[in-house]
Structure 1
Amino acid sequence: MLIISNAVHIPDDEIELNAIRAQGAGGQNVNKVSSAVHLRFDINASSLPPFHKERLLGLRDSRITSDGVIVLKAQQYRTQEQNRADALERLRELILAAVKVEKARRPTRPTLGSKTRRLESKSKRGAIKAGRGKIDY
């Protein structure tokens, strides 16, 4: 069981994990051992709350197919157990990031102090540049 939060859990039977051979360099170990993990999670068929499903399906992420299936491939570690844990943690982080609600930003005006500081620095800079002109005798 994958625990997302105190109220949201994903049963193991909803997450499909397959062991595959990893890509890239690694020699005999990579060629013979299926240490990489391919994770598939169907959002629509899951027991996630409707809000979570809606936010996940609304993401513009290359890891989510058009059918609403999250596909993750974990091959960073040498052992299958570590890659399985990595894939599950990445799925958890993806779901948590999708349901995080950002606080709306209220535009504010600059303070009087910041305005005066800005104008003072502009006048100082202007005085420096004015002093670079030709000197008349």
Structure 2
Amino acid sequence: MFSTDEKRLLRESWKLVVPVIDTAADLFYRRLFELQPAYRALFPDDMSGQKRKLMGMLGFAVKACDWPDEAWAQDVATDDDLVLVVLALGRRHAMLYKVPQEGYATVGEALIWALDMGLGQAFTKETRAAWSKLYTVMSSTMMMGARQAAKEGAR
């Protein structure tokens, strides 16, 4: 799914994010609400828990996509399976928070912007492409979960 170089770029750039994780989360949400002010109402007043969840999920995704190629064919615990976790996340976002599908593009834009601002020169064209690919995989999977939730709700 990810090339050796993409995995390395994700891993190395994430190591740069971790020491400034609170600032990275602040940048992300600031940009998200600048792009789409109406989304602020979808979140609690105290964003500290939400920021931890976001950064935890990004860290989990980086770790999961860095598995060796042979590990992708092995059985893994449900809580460690990136696809299953992200499918469930998409279902929750659709069922509980009523996140619109068009919101995924805005979130992706805010994420890439925050990484660009936070990493500066370390956010190379190749690093941007790797993060864009990771977000595309995650958002596509979340939308699949959302569509499944909508089908089940229509029954």
Task: Name which structure has the greater RCO, CA cutoff 8 Å, separation 6+.
Answer: 2
**Larger strand proportion of the pair:** 1
TM-based fold match above 0.5: no
Q: In which range does the TM-score fall when normalised by the shorter chain? A: under 0.3
The higher radius of gyration belongs to: 1
**Larger helix proportion of the pair:** 2
TM-score (norm 2): 0.25
TM-score (norm 1): 0.27
